[in-house]
Chain A
Amino acid sequence: MTDHDSQDHDHAGRTPSAMELRVRALETVLAEKGYIDPAALDLLIDAYKNKIGPRNGARVVARAWSDPAFRRWLLGHATAAIASMGFGGRQGEHMIAVENTPELHNLVVCTLCSCYPWPILGLPPTWYKSAPYRSRAVKDPRGVLKDFGVDLPQSTAIRVWDSTAEVRYLVIPLRPSGSELLEEAALANLVTRDSMIGTGLPQTPGGAP
């Protein structure tokens, strides 16, 4: 541990403003040393706050639901199929799409850290990076699903994908009943982030999931 770490470990009263100052100090010195361009930091934040997020993945899933040829391409060569919609790059270089069926439910986790397909889902939610999820998803996936309000039938098998290397996984959820007449854009609105990780189900048209 560094001196700095131990100084900051006053478990009684670490305030957000102390963290704010600590981060600001670091950014200042790294910029002064010429390692970083603060304007680049602003653009990185803007990209993940406003441009790269789960609506990208929702469009991919909606296309897979409505276009059988695209679905086959996505299941066979996900990185290329996703790139054809303009999504790709950092933390999505090696994509695999896995499909839910009435018999099989897929769930994605990274037990070792927080690996997640950024180009199509954005940054991972807090729970995805949390100890309870990473500990329990591989051992008690049905219990984890219940935390999300999903009670799978006992007859549905579960497949858990632990992202232990640089391969990133996208779950194609089951297309909800009642969505048969919807166009791609309307279908995308039914696709939730959690349904593409496997901890949730898509919304049904005109209702809750």
Chain B
Amino acid sequence: MTYRSWADLGGRPDGRTVQPEAEGELFHAPWEPRVLALTLAMGATGLWNIDMSRSSRETLEDYSELSYYEIWLAGLQMLLLDSGAASPDEISSGRMTRPAIEVAHVLSAEAVAGVLAAGAPVSRVPDRPARFTVGQAVRTGTDSPRHHTRLPGYARGKQGIIERVHGAHVFADSNARGLGEQPEWLYTVVFDAADLWGSAPPGAAPTRVSIDAWEPYLAPA
């Protein structure tokens, strides 16, 4: 089965200007904050993890036609269906027709402040030494994997330099597939823009672009 992310936008041709927005403009319809809160509250149940959430959103075929919170709503619905937490009929009718499934946690009002303040760190104790060191030249993989991944298309098959070693972090590629955290070393890898795009604007000081890349994305250059 192929996997397609519709969210990998870096470097795509897009002639539209970016529309700045005032600092207080958070939501543009009354339902948007409810979708935000529903997503956060359902995320707290433990039925899925944040990488599964991102995967559910990026695979929506109408991703590019939806607004941000429409994407979140559609992604949430996919997760509810996939996990068996709700049926299509329940989602459209708003009425319970099947028993609830068991969830590990229900986010209570009393717990909200503490849960937000605690967050969910993804750093883990590594089970092996880092393969790469700061300053080392690396080359990113060229694969388009058949699953959620966080190596952007524009940075595939490119040579860069390890700039920072972050430690071992939960590996999104496995976590998104329900294969466990399988922590991997995470690095900031920096590229010259000319190497990414084949040319650089004449006369301007150089631009460099970095990504955060897990070790499996990288090979020695």
Interface size class of A (residues with CB under 8 A): 35 or more
> Interface residues of B: mostly helix, strand, loop or mixed?
mixed
Given contacts A111-B154, A162-B10, contact A89 B116 (CB under 8 A): yes
CA distance A17 to B169 in the complex (A): 42
CA distance A3 to B89 in the complex (A): 9
Chain A residues positioned under 8 Å from B34 (CB to CB): 23-24, 27, 41, 45
Q: Which residues of A from 38 to 64 have beta carbons under 8 Å from B?
A: 39-45, 47-49, 52-54
Query: CB of B129 within 8 A of chain A?
Result: no
Chain B residues positioned under 8 Å from A9 (CB to CB): 62
Given contacts A135-B13, A164-B212, contact A141 B29 (CB under 8 A): no
Contact across chains for A164 and B213 when beta carbons are under 8 A apart: yes
Binds B, one of A65-73, A91-99, A182-190: A91-99
- Distance (Å) between the CB of A202 and the closest chain B CB? 13
Given contacts A36-B107, A131-B9, A165-B150, contact A29 B91 (CB under 8 A): yes
Contact across chains for A158 and B109 when beta carbons are under 8 A apart: no
Chain A residues positioned under 8 Å from B80 (CB to CB): 30
Contact across chains for A35 and B103 when beta carbons are under 8 A apart: yes
Query: CB of A13 within 8 A of chain B?
Result: no
CA distance A26 to B75 in the complex (A): 13
Interface size class of B (residues with CB under 8 A): 35 or more
Chain A residues positioned under 8 Å from B188 (CB to CB): 167
Q: Which residues of B from 57 to 78 have beta carbons under 8 Å from A?
A: 57-58, 61-62, 64-65, 68, 70, 73-74, 76-78
Chain B residues positioned under 8 Å from A208 (CB to CB): none
Query: CB of B117 within 8 A of chain A?
Result: yes
- Interface bits B7-41 vs A (CB < 8 Å: 1, else 0): 11111111011111101011011110111111011
